[in-house]
Structure 1
């Protein structure tokens, strides 16, 4: 993918000029359709998805199943194109003179699908809701750089000030030159006033301002799918080029892939491991296998027995060295994964494969055994090491391979812990009820090394599922965020990764390509820098 660099800040900067850093069965399936007068098709596109963990509230959605839907039904201040470049969407401009105080001006005459106007208040109210401690939103972390944010008590974002219907200002706690780049992420979407009357009910039938809207109330059928139709009032760049999108939730990836081959599913963005060796031949030019900003790992919770203190560091290093990543990626993933050498992604500008401490990711049988023995001298190991995963996501093969590698190298019992659905799995993870370690991964929200580190490992961050905490790491992330250039920031982020290699809050495994494909019934299928298909531009006649 193209490598782009962030433009330097002048006296004032509009986001439209910014350039991001990125190398980031329904009956309708068989209905015929004809093209509309504006060149768009009217066929309904079916796409693979997964049951969202929570009601569809932007600030409480931190997984890809819900995120895929939110990105279709909401429009943010900016959006990212296929290459990761930022474009204004609802924003007319985002300006600053000091990278700490921003003025956001909205385009006029923007509306939600219930007819209410999208105003500055729509953003300020949504962000304040997401930031309040008592609302327990998974995405609250994304607002902690705005003046007034608190992790300890309910505190409004005093740094947000509504000037008029189309203008609001933002004051950050410190200068952050890449702050506008973050605003395409779903946590920053606006909400209509009706959302706050009953937020849970609203999340079941959300009202957005994006390219699509729910086909009707109740269109989200849990564990089955959700039906969306074009929003005729949307005026941005991502106008729907089809008659709607049906996102279908499958129990297995194999079932989804078989439907794709049979033209019963139009777009699939995750090929099952059983088809890695055949899908490119079977799909031909409809197959997709391209780099994407996806990092995969498994997390060992900080409070798990035998994995804290000096003993924990030794065991984490031993387990990392006991995994033969190269053998697993070759045997199982058939060229669709690359063994990890850091905690981010080679797709992101600033990535390095030579960070101090990264040698812990190399398979080293004797080294792993020695580290494990040192840990046993502190406290003898007992029990079975497990890795939890969702059975509906096609993860069993690699989990079995990783646990077998650990078992054979260290001479301990190790096995997978399958959980039936992604929603159940994530509920156990976020509720801290899951037993043992568990699979984790990160699909970048915006193309920046910071986004691959801060949400996952900063103390109290919304996706810090292992409850890792390091004041030294936090300080380096904060300093990097305030750096005057991308190069200076990335140097500090690299230092922060050195700390992660000492502590191993997660065990890096590999970087993922996006592997997917499309049916013979659709055209204009493109996958973005972060692996998500750009469903609004898919045509079906």
Structure 2
């Protein structure tokens, strides 16, 4: 999920069946003391959120906090990646197009206000209304009436209806089987009336319906404190009594605090420390595979990259395993396609040209007349310099490329270049699953005319297969369609899959390391952490 836009429908600078793979760098019970009787207080690293309004939160710094403050219509089982009840106890559909959700009757916001079907009707309409400029509005684009509301031709979503106090009906413009999973996403969390009346004030101390409630206000650039909500209507209360999200401008300072025990959990350790984690933390560190996917895209509107053999050769000339070992201390997983390894549709042989084959690559590149000079683009300030330089060196060594220039800039400026089709060479981007559906690993960034499709890739058969997977009522049929769509991507190679990122998590002695879990989005499950006295 880039950190200020990990959850976007735009590409990031970073979503059902198998459990997320855990690669432990250390083990043991951690902690060493008895569990705190009331759950204790845990402190965890965070960066400064862009905002704390669910409909507007598109980056991990805010979304991590909102995850604790709210519960959506649905949730996610982080072992099976299936949709599970949230505020909605059950749901049904006959055609994947009209869905009925039956809400529990005991849900309230932290201020005591009741949550009903109308709560979600009001929230969804407010989020999509262009006057409110919510960045997550585009996630609603499959709901009937979305475009009319965006265009100002309607005042509310035609496809969202409160049948009665506890029955919500959602009608889509086309069949979409991942809807229950998508509704677990941050942008669909329910909002109380006070959020609509004064949004700016509201997000300084959001009133949610989740396992935790605000303890005071958001102290910008310092901390956001939460306390367990004892009247939570869900099945499980959070384990820590209090959560302190400590905001750091400097990850190095956070690392030092984690070393000294002043910070209990740090989940965004920079790569320069990965080789010394065992020395610095002993057993109190683990590594988790995630859906965070890094790739090099091709500007297909540039003539030099319109020959698929040029694209295939550039892919086969990269030794992914060597780069992962030397630069990422073995943490990342080489990509053999675009579907993350934890998804049931994942195949380790989906990509025929993702393996390192320098001789075959050189032959293809010469025959296709690949460019002797090229420019490699990446966003600055995120630690991409070392590996992009390694890729450039391998292209020069294995393909005879004479020179590689680098263009890097701040992410906002970087996306502006993409939006105006001013990229002239391979470019670095990433993607992370906002919800665990294979559809989300492909549709937003490769289907025709999607706003995040920065390669310009367009293939009618690919688009048809994505639609087929989305509308399938049978999971096996959906999986087959998605895999066939991935086959087309890997045949046409509008991008070079590089790796799926693993993230180390370090903890203090106060945290039982067996309770530490990072999910597919790179979120530590803070509510499950066990701390000692």
Q: What band does the TM-score fall into relative to the shorter chain? A: 0.7 to 0.9
Alignment of 1:235-250 (within 5 A): 235-250=233-248
The answer to whether the aligner puts 1:429 opposite 2:418 as a matched pair is no
Shift in Å at residue 483 of structure 1? 1.2
Equivalent position to 1:89, from 86, 89, 100: 86
Q: 1:126 pairs with 123, 126, 132, which one?
A: 123
Query: Shift in Å at residue 324 of structure 1?
Result: 1.7
Equivalent of residue 62 in structure 1, options 49, 58, 62? 58
Deviations along 1:391-411, whole A, 9 cap, x unmatched?
3xx444333333433454422
C-alpha spacing 1:190/1:302, structure 2 compared with 1 (3 Å)? farther
Q: Which residue of 2 aligns with 1:273?
A: 271
Alpha-carbon contact 2:254-2:266 (below 8 Å) kept: yes
Q: Hey, what does 2:23 align to over in structure 1? A: none
**Aligned match of 1:28:** none
Q: Which residue of 2 aligns with 1:229?
A: 227
Name stretches of at least 5 consecutive residues in structure 2 with no aligned partner: 1-15, 21-32
1:388 — aligned with what?
A: 379
Could you report, residue by residue, the CA deviation over 1:464-509 in whole angstroms, capped at 9, with x for unpaired residues? 4556544432222111111122221111111211332245444311
Q: Would the aligned equivalents of 1:34 and 1:41 in 2 still touch at CA under 8 Å?
A: no
Q: Aligned pair in 2 of structure 1 residues 55, 371: CA closer, same or farther (>3 Å)?
A: farther
Aligned to 2:406: 415
Map of 1:187 onto structure 2: 187
What do the CA deviations read for 1:7-61 (whole angstroms, capped 9, x no partner)?
Answer: xxxxxxxxxxxxx42335xxxxxxxx9988xx43232x22122333x42332333
Given the alignment of the two structures, is residue 474 of structure 1 paired with residue 463 of structure 2, yes or no? yes
* Cα distance in structure 2, aligned partners of 1:75 and 1:505: 37
Q: Which residue of 1 aligns with 2:259?
A: 261
Aligned pair partner of 1:142 in 133, 139, 142:
139
Give distance in 2, aligned partners of 1:265 and 1:323.
38
Counterpart for residue 500 of structure 1: 489
**Greater RCO, CA 8 A, separation 6+:** 2
Matches within 5 A, 1:204-223: 204-217=204-217, 219-222=218-221
- The match for 1:337 among 332, 335, 338 is 332
Confirm or deny: 8 A CA contact 2:226 2:243 kept in the other structure.
yes
Measured in 2, the distance between the counterparts of 1:471 and 1:125 equals 37
Residue number among 511, 521, 530 corresponding to 1:522 in the alignment: 511
Q: CA deviation at 1:94?
A: 1.6
Asked if the contact 1:49–1:248 (Cα under 8 Å) also holds between the matched residues in 2, the reply is: yes
Offset at 1:367?
5.0
* 1:311-390 superposed matches below 5 A: 313=308, 316-355=311-350, 358-369=351-362, 384-390=375-381
- Where 2:146 maps in the other structure, the secondary structure is coil
Once structures 1 and 2 are overlaid, which stretch shifts more, 125-134 or 188-197?
A: 125-134
* Cα separation, 2, equivalents of 1:348 and 1:212: 30
> SS at 1:104's partner residue?
strand
What whole-Å deviation, never above 9, does each CA across 1:121-176 have from its counterpart, x for those lacking one?
Answer: 22122223344566554433432332223398345431211122322111233444
CA distance in structure 2 between the aligned counterparts of 1:88 and 1:415, rounded to whole angstroms: 48
Corresponding residue number in structure 1 for 2:286: 288
Aligned length, in residue pairs: 494
Q: Which moved more, 1:146-155 or 1:513-522?
A: 146-155
Q: Report the Cα distance in structure 2 between the residues aligned to 1:337 and 1:441, rounded to whole angstroms.
A: 14
5+ long unaligned stretches in structure 1: 1-19, 25-32, 420-424
Alpha carbons of structure 1 residues 432 and 276: separation in structure 2 relative to 1, 3 Å: same
Post-superposition offset of 1:221: 0.9
Q: Shift in Å at residue 383 of structure 1?
A: 6.3
CA distance in 2, matches of 1:459, 1:198: 38
Match of 1:452 in 2: 441
TM-score by length of structure 1 reads 0.80
